[in-house]
Amino acid sequence: MSQVNPQPAAPETPFPSPDGEHEVAALNDGTHVLIRPLRADDRVREQAFIRRLSAEARRCRFLGEIREASDSLMDSLMATDGVDKVAYIALVHDNGELREVGISRYATGADRTRCECAVTVADDWRHRGLAVVLMKHLIETARRNGFQSMYSIDLAENHEMEELARFLGFTRKADPDDATLVTHTLQLSVSHGRTADAMPDARPAPATGKAEVQPAYRDIAVALTETSADRAAIDAAIDLARVFGSRVDLLQLLLMPTPMVDSWSLVPDASFIEAYEVIRAEARTRADAWRAHLKQAHVQGEVHPLEALYLEPSSLAAQAARCRDLVMIPGPGAHDGDAASLRRYFASLLFETGLPVLVIPHGAEPVVPPRRAVVAWADTRECVRAIHDALPLLKGCEWVSVASVNDSHASEPAEVVALLKHHGVKAEPSLLKLSGDESTASRILEHAATSHAHIIVAGGYGHSRLREWAIGGVTRELLMHARIPVLFSH
């Protein structure tokens, strides 16, 4: 952009002459706006601009409902460097002050050859050509800074953005994972290639105001069983927390005996009160030890005692785990005396949290993050859900086998392999054949073992849970016999 571009007509009220790059642009209706890069002293203007937008405009801009821009969001929006994070602001005169009426911005993420862009115009300044002016400045700067492409993630129902993107030469593609979203992409003609190798090793997160799609487990819950198997699950959670920068919360169930009240008594037997205090004291000792373990590992987290007196203990844990991203639990061994109660615990977490449940088998030494994975594929809702829930782990794998077993419920995994590849997962199909009385689960476990897989991803209880309890099934067999972690989703 030139320092000052001549206009067909001068604005009625001259704009102050800012230092550096700027332009006084004439819009379609003859009004004039000042276009210049966003500056630190525009923070109040930008916050007021967002506040004045209609609820619908804010929803289209941020792909969600927000009422007020938080301080952290404002910090992100105001962080520009002129190369990897760029924003242009449009200003007009309003009662002697300059008021923001539009803004365009781009930012780069992990792929430093492309940038994500966004443009927003005040509701009362739409349909004047301002969005086109702002985007042309942005495109010119992105091209000058060597980007190969520019993209925007938008609501599919945002028809004004669709028209703008078409006018500017963007292509449109539906999001395969979310029917409400589309991606608009513009290929930029660059005079010199911009490659990842030429970029610095690390870049800050995008400042477009739209969340970059980088799935992660930010909050992890570990459902403790008060057995020796807890340590492996906690350590695996700590390792995951180091990968994703997560918080780890330990859910400690306290099984309180139901108080017995004599028919002639008004209060419970004193022996029960004493028993409660003993249980709580022992739980505090264990909780303090786990807190020290988390602190020593330099991982944020807490131990949450859950007293199960009248509620079903496993349901109490499920209720406490819901506001997390992932639940982890030790797996029951095939010969554990308390395996039945652990299976009930697992089932409650799977059915009642709405979250993926990562089972760490007793005695396992998990590889975290996993580098090799097997997806137990069947054409079911539960399996599709598991694949999406496992993306934060699968994206880091060097090899993923989408394994389909040739039984009556199998289907070719080609489409799901294509989906995973679209997410950058190195996936390949595997068709497994059963022999004799071999079960689907045992064939999956054999394939995982011979492939040296570090994790299995599976849908949980695609059949009736009662049926699996009675005659067995894939979920039950994987839960009982896997010797590597299994991520289940329902």
Domains of the chain with bracketed CATH: 23-198 (3.40.630.30), 219-489 (3.40.50.12370)
Q: Which residue ranges of the chain lie beneath pLDDT 50?
A: 1-10, 190-214, 334-335, 408-410, 464-472
Find the Cα–Cα–Cα–Cα dihedral 477, 456, 439, 479, rounded to 10°.
Answer: 0
Runs of H (alpha helix) within 329-439: 339-353, 381-389, 391-394, 414-422
pLDDT value of position 52 = 92
Give the neighbor-by-neighbor strand order of the sheet with 301-308.
301-308, 247-255, 219-223, 326-331, 357-361, 486-489, 455-459, 372-377, 399-405, 427-432
Residues 6+ apart with CB under 8 A from 31: 11, 92, 128
**Is the distance from CB of 332 to CB of 348 less than 8 angstroms?**
no
Classify strands 247-255 and 181-187 as parallel, antiparallel or unpaired: unpaired
The owner of tokens 């394994």 is 403
pLDDT value of position 73 = 87
**Is the distance from CB of 111 to CB of 76 less than 8 angstroms?**
no
Rounded to whole angstroms, the Cα distance separating 199 from 453 reads 34
Residues 6+ apart with CB under 8 A from 37: 20, 21, 80, 82, 86, 87, 88, 89
**Cα–Cα nearest to 318, from 361, 370, 355:** 355
Find the Cα–Cα–Cα–Cα dihedral 108, 109, 112, 114, rounded to 10°.
Answer: -60
pLDDT value of position 390 = 96
Q: What is the 3-state secondary structure (H, E, C) of 49-114?
A: HHHHCCHHHHHHHHCCCCCCCCHHHHHHHHCCCCCCEEEEEEEEEECCEEEEEEEEEEEECCCCCE
**Is the distance from CB of 490 to CB of 351 less than 8 angstroms?**
yes
pLDDT value of position 345 = 86
Neighbours of 315 (CB within 10 A): 16
Report phi then psi at 281, rounded to 5: -65, -45
pLDDT value of position 15 = 55
Give the neighbor-by-neighbor strand order of the sheet with 114-121.
23-26, 32-37, 85-94, 97-108, 114-121, 149-155, 181-187, 171-174
pLDDT value of position 244 = 83
Residue type, 381: R
DSSP letter (8 states) at residue 211: P
**Cα–Cα nearest to 215, from 107, 325, 65, 353:** 325
The owner of tokens 């009556």 is 408
The owner of tokens 């918080």 is 247
**Is the distance from CB of 273 to CB of 285 less than 8 angstroms?**
no
The Cα-based distances of 206 to 110, 144, 456 in angstroms read 9, 19, 33
Which SS3 state, helix, strand or coil, does residue 138 take? helix
Buried b (16+ CB within 10 A) or exposed e, 352-387: bbebbbbbbbbebebbbbbebbbbbbbeeebbbbbb
pLDDT value of position 7 = 39
Rounded to whole angstroms, the Cα distance separating 481 from 141 reads 57
3-state helix, strand, coil in the chain (%, to 5): 35, 25, 40
Rounded to whole angstroms, the Cα distance separating 400 from 359 reads 19
The Cα-based distances of 133 to 37, 59, 121, 137, 330 in angstroms read 13, 22, 11, 7, 57
Q: What is the pLDDT of residues 176-192, one digit of tens each?
A: 888 889 999 999 864 33
Share of the chain above pLDDT 70, in %: 82
Rounded to whole angstroms, the Cα distance separating 190 from 187 reads 9
pLDDT value of position 472 = 45
Q: What is the pLDDT of residues 123-159, one digit of tens each?
A: 999 988 999 999 999 999 999 999 999 999 999 999 8
DSSP letter (8 states) at residue 227: S
Which SS3 state, helix, strand or coil, does residue 13 take? coil
The Cα-based distances of 151 to 168, 222, 360 in angstroms read 12, 38, 40
